[in-house]
């Protein structure tokens, strides 16, 4: 909510209902203070795109495993929340062009000598079930994979690593590197240069909405507004689109 109309964009005429989780994973997104308002790169990018479409964002907070099913059932217009465009998801929803591209990082506890996939034989490695991160975890030879589900998967993986329930976990570099920088309990073991594209997922066959979203993304990539939002939230990462 709280979209500010940009000069030249159409007035708000409809709501764009977007599924998301509520988690504290800056700079992607911060925990919502009230279950309505959200901040971070993804919410800011969604607000920007919606403003070009003449819509206002309404966030529908749910569990990670329920976001795509909500889109499929028509309970929301789309999912805009950490959706790497892997084949398993492409089979379930139609995706826009990317609004972000990220790599994937593995964290371990401070003092752990692991620094590559080849140094983690026998490790318990966590990742979100059905995610692109899980594929990275599964590529670690000899690792025991622990799949996480539920409404608070990111926080659950942090807690599991801190308590020793897992020896490492994999998630996106955009949230993992800042986490390691601010939390003395964790260090980066390695980052996989996967260049995983993220998109907005809409119901299969909803070509009208898909076209609107892609057109708006074309506009804000071409005029530099999406790059500005990116740089506002992630100044240490190079904007990867429109090149």
**What percent of the chain has pLDDT above 70?**
94
- For residues 168 and 83, is the Cβ–Cβ distance under 8 A? no
14-99+199-233 and 102-195 agree in CATH topology: yes
Residue 139 has pLDDT above 60, yes or no: yes
Task: Give the Cα separation of 122 and 117 in Å (integer).
Answer: 11
Q: How confident is the model at residue 171 (pLDDT cuts 50, 70, 90)?
A: very high
Helix axes 225-233, 207-222, angle to 10 degrees: 80
Q: Determine the pLDDT at residue 243.
A: 59
Task: For residue range 178-218, list pLDDT tens digits in order.
Answer: 999 999 999 999 999 999 999 999 999 999 999 999 999 99
Residue 141 has pLDDT above 70, yes or no: yes
Indicate the helix (H) or strand (E) that contains 229: helix 225-233
Which residue ranges make up each domain of the chain? 14-99+199-233, 102-195
Q: What is the pTM of this model?
A: 0.85
Specify the CATH number of the domain 102-195.
3.40.190.10
* Class of domain 14-99+199-233 as given by CATH: alpha beta
Number of separate helices (H) and strands (E) present in the chain: 8, 10
Dihedral sign for Cα atoms in the order 162, 164, 165, 167: positive
């Amino acid at each position: 909510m709280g979209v500010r109309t940009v000069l030249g964009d159409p007035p708000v005429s409809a709501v764009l209902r977007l599924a998301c989780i509520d988690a504290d994973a800056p700079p992607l997104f911060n925990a919502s203070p009230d279950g309505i308002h959200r901040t971070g790169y993804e919410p800011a990018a969604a607000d920007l795109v919606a403003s070009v479409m003449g819509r206002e964002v309404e966030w529908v907070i749910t569990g990670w495993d329920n976001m795509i099913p909500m889109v499929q059932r028509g309970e929301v217009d789309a999912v805009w929340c950490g959706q790497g465009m892997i084949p398993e998801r492409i089979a379930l929803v139609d995706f826009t062009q990317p609004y972000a591209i990220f790599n994937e990082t593995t964290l371990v506890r401070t003092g752990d000598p692991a620094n590559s996939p080849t140094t983690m034989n026998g490790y318990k490695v966590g990742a979100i079930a059905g995610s692109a991160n899980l594929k990275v975890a599964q590529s670690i030879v000899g690792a025991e994979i622990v799949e996480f589900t539920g409404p608070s998967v990111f926080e659950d993986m942090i807690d599991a690593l801190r308590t020793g329930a897992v020896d490492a976990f994999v998630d996106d570099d955009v949230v993992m590197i800042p986490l390691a920088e601010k939390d003395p309990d964790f260090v980066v073991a390695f980052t996989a240069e996967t260049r995983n594209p993220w998109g907005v997922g809409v119901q299969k066959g909803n070509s009208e909405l898909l076209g609107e979203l892609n057109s708006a993304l074309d506009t804000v990539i071409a005029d530099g507004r999406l790059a500005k939002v990116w740089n506002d939230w992630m100044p240490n990462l190079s904007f990867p689109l429109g090149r």
